[in-house]
Structure 1
C-alpha cells in the first residue's frame, strides 16, 4: 500500500483503469459495494462488515471479476479510508481482516467452482450423449414401426384378398349345395312315381291273373314288388337327406322327451317283432328343428333295433348327460357292433357293411344323422366294440327359459 492516489478516488475509477468494463456493469457495482462494506466494517467495527465481505466474494466469482481487479478495488477503497482515519493501526487491522475474509471466501468459492464446473460439464456431455443415443434409438424405432406398419398393411391386404376369395368360394359352395339339393330332390321325386307305378302294376297283374298265376310268376311278382318297395324307401331316404343339405330352419324349443316317445310309438311294430327293450332317461328340452331332431333319433333308435345279434333280443338305452348349456344324448345298444376301421366309412352315403338281405337299408341313415347333427350345431360321435354293441352320442344346445 505504498502507492499514493488522490484522497477521494473511488474504487470504480480504479477498476476502469485496470479493466475496461462498460459503464453500469456488475464490476462497477461490486466495486461500489466493496468500498461501502469496507468503510462500514472499519467505522462500525461490526460482524456485519465481515458478512458483507463473504457475500461480495460469492457474488464476484460468477461475474468473472479477476483477482487483479479485486486487488485494485481493495487498494482504492483502503487508501481512501486510511486518509480519512489518519493511517491508524486500528483502521489498518480492520482493513486487513476484511480483505482476508473476502479473499478466503473467494478462494474457497473459486476452488468449488473449478471442481464443480468440470463435473457439470461432464454431466452435460453425458446427458447430450444420452439424448443423442435416445434420438438414434427413437429414429430406429420409428423406422422399425414404419416397416412393421407396412408389413401389417401388406398382410391385411393379403388377408382381405384371401377373405374375399374365400367368401366367393363359400358363396359358390352354397350355391352348389342348393343346386345339388334341388337336383337330388327333383330326381328323387321323379323316381318316386315310377316306383309307385311298378308296385301298383304288380298288384294289378297279380289280381288280373288270379288263379292262372303259376308259382314261378308269383315269385317273380313278389321280387318285383319287394324291389319296388326297396326302391321307394331308398327314394324316401334320399329325399330326406336332400332336404337337410341346405336346411337352415330357425332353431327353437324342442320337447325331446315328447319326440322320443313319438318315435317309439312309430317303431312299435319293430319293437314288438324283435322283442326289443327300450330304456329311456328323462331328457331336457333342447334347441333344434323338430323335423330334423325326429329324423336324427329315429334313425339311431331304428338302427339299434335292426342291427341286433342273432338270438339276442335288442336292448336300447337312451341316456342324457346334462351340462349348463348343453345336453349330451347317447343311444346305446347290445347289437353286433362296428369294427374301428369302419367308423368313418359308415357315415358316408350309400356305404353298407352288410348285404341287403342280412340287414335291409339304403346306406343313407347315418350320413343323414351326421348332417343333421352339423345343422343342429353338434357332432355325432361313436364308440363301439364288435359283438358287444355301439353307442352314438351327440351334444345338443339346451333350451334355457
Structure 2
C-alpha cells in the first residue's frame, strides 16, 4: 500500500522498530503507566524519521507477536488482524500523504506569493520614486523652457523693433540724402550746359566726372531705399503669377535687353504664394544682373524657368545667364552689402541687388542659391511655395 519513496532508510526503520518493540514488551509485562511515555517518544522519533503509518502499525503487531504468541504457533489470527489493520489504516495513510503534499505545495505557493508581493512592493516603490523624480525633472525642464521662451520672445521683440528702427532710420537718411544729391546733380548739369563755352577742357572734364559721381550716388540712395523697404516689409502671402510678372519686368527692361542684344528664353512659370512686391524686387535684380553680366560675347543669353523643387509643394525659380561666371571663392561674398565683383567703371551698380535678393529669399523661408563655373555662366535659384490648391 505504501510507495517506495515514502520508506525511510532501512537502518533508521530498524532502530525505531527495536525501540518500539522493546518499550511495548516492557509495558505488556509491567503495565506501568510511566512506560506509556516511551510510546509517545518512539512515535515522535518515527515521525521525525518519516516512518509511514502502516510501517508504524506493523512495528506494533510484530511486538505483539513476539510478546503474546507461544513459540511454534501459526499466528494466523494475528496475521489476519494485521491485514485488516493495514487495509483500514491505508486510507488514513493516503489521506495524510495528500495532506502532507498539499501542505507542502500550499506552503510553496504562499512563499512564492509572498516573494512576488515583495517584488511588487519593491517595483511599486521604485516606480513611485522614478515617477517623482521624472515629475521633478519635467517641472524643472518645463520651467527652463518657459523661461527660455520668454527670453526668446523678448529678444525677438527687441530684434523686430531694432529692424524696424533700422529700416525707418535708413529710409529717413536715404530720403534726406536724395534731395541734396538731386540738387547737386541738377546744378552740375546746368553749369556744364550754360557755361560750357567759358570752361576750360579740364574744368568740363571735372564737372562731367562730378555729374557721374552724383548719378552713382542717386542710384546708391535708390538702392538703399529699396533695401530698407524690403527689410521692413511685413506681408501676408498672396498669389503671384510669375509668368505675367516676368513679362512685365522684361517689358520695362526693353532698353537694357536691346543694348545687350539679349536672347531671352522664358519657360513655363507657375503661380506661387508670396509677397508680390518682394518677388518683383527679386526678379528685377536677377534679370538685370543677367542682362548686364550675362555675356562675354556680343549677345547675352538669359533663361528664366520654374522646375519642381526637391520639397513637395514648391517650385524652383531659376534665372541663368551665359556670362563669365562667378569664381567659387567669391560666391559667398556677392550676397553681402556693397560687395561687387567689378569696378564701377567696368559695370555700374551699387552692390546691393543680390543682398536684396538674399533678404527676399529669407523672408519667404528659403535661401538664394548660385551655381556657377568660370566661363560657363551663372544660375541663381530660389524655392517658392506653389499656389494653394493649384491643381484643383
Please tell me the TM-score bracket, short chain as reference. 0.7 to 0.9
Task: State the secondary structure of the residue aligned to 1:194.
Answer: helix
Task: State the secondary structure of the residue aligned to 1:351.
Answer: coil
How far apart are the structure 2 equivalents of 1:199 and 1:153? 67
Structure 2 counterpart of 1:371, from 359, 369, 373: 359
**Residue aligning to 1:384:** 372
8 Å contact kept, 2:170–2:225: yes
Task: State the secondary structure of the residue aligned to 1:327.
Answer: strand
**Residue aligning to 2:381:** 393
* 1:307 aligns to 2:271 (yes or no): no
**Residue aligning to 1:113:** 99
How far apart are the structure 2 equivalents of 1:208 and 1:358? 30
How far apart are the structure 1 equivalents of 2:195 and 2:101? 135
**Residue aligning to 2:243:** 257
**Residue aligning to 2:331:** 343
How far apart are the structure 2 equivalents of 1:352 and 1:248? 28
8 Å contact kept, 2:261–2:298: no
Task: State the secondary structure of the residue aligned to 1:387.
Answer: coil
Task: State the secondary structure of the residue aligned to 2:344.
Answer: coil
CA offset at residue 226 of structure 1? 1.1
Structure 1 counterpart of 2:260, from 258, 271, 274: 274
Show structure 2 runs of 5+ residues with no match: 1-52, 54-81
Structure 2 counterpart of 1:170, from 138, 141, 156: 156
CA offset at residue 244 of structure 1? 1.1
**Residue aligning to 1:143:** 129
Task: State the secondary structure of the residue aligned to 2:304.
Answer: strand
Structure 2 counterpart of 1:185, from 162, 171, 174: 171
CA offset at residue 137 of structure 1? 1.7
CA offset at residue 378 of structure 1? 2.2
How far apart are the structure 2 equivalents of 1:146 and 1:246? 49
CA offset at residue 363 of structure 1? 0.6
8 Å contact kept, 1:188–1:239: yes
CA offset at residue 257 of structure 1? 0.7
How far apart are the structure 1 equivalents of 2:122 and 2:328? 65
Task: Trace 1:126-137 onto structure 2 (pairs within 5 A).
Answer: 126-137=112-123
CA offset at residue 222 of structure 1? 1.4
CA offset at residue 104 of structure 1? 3.9
How far apart are the structure 2 equivalents of 1:199 and 1:228? 6
Q: Which moved more, 1:311-320 or 1:203-212?
A: 203-212
CA offset at residue 383 of structure 1? 0.6
CA offset at residue 210 of structure 1? 4.5
Q: Which moved more, 1:188-197 or 1:154-163?
A: 154-163
How far apart are the structure 1 equivalents of 2:291 and 2:357? 16
Q: Which moved more, 1:302-311 or 1:386-395?
A: 302-311
CA offset at residue 208 of structure 1? 2.8
Task: State the secondary structure of the residue aligned to 1:386.
Answer: coil
8 Å contact kept, 2:333–2:339: yes
How far apart are the structure 2 equivalents of 1:237 and 1:201? 23
Task: Trace 1:206-221 onto structure 2 (pairs within 5 A).
Answer: 206-221=192-207
Task: Trace 1:18-167 onto structure 2 (pairs within 5 A).
Answer: 103-167=89-153
8 Å contact kept, 2:286–2:319: yes
**Residue aligning to 2:318:** 330
Task: State the secondary structure of the residue aligned to 2:126.
Answer: helix
How far apart are the structure 1 equivalents of 2:127 and 2:265? 70
How far apart are the structure 2 equivalents of 1:197 and 1:368? 27
Q: With structure 2 as the length reference, what TM-score do the two structures score?
A: 0.74
CA offset at residue 107 of structure 1? 2.7
CA offset at residue 166 of structure 1? 1.3
8 Å contact kept, 1:280–1:319: yes
Question: Cα deviation per residue 1:305-347 (whole Å; 9 max; x = unaligned)?
Answer: 1114443421111121136511111111111111111111111
Gap change, CA 1:220 and 1:110, over 3 Å in 2: same
Q: Over aligned residues, Cα RMSD in angstroms?
A: 2.1
Task: State the secondary structure of the residue aligned to 2:285.
Answer: helix
**Residue aligning to 2:224:** 238
How far apart are the structure 2 equivalents of 1:295 and 1:252? 15
8 Å contact kept, 1:319–1:331: yes
Name the count of aligned residue pairs. Answer: 308
Structure 1 residue ranges, 4+ long, deviating more than 6 angstroms after superposition: 96-102
8 Å contact kept, 1:244–1:371: yes
8 Å contact kept, 2:196–2:204: no
8 Å contact kept, 1:309–1:387: no
CA offset at residue 165 of structure 1? 1.1
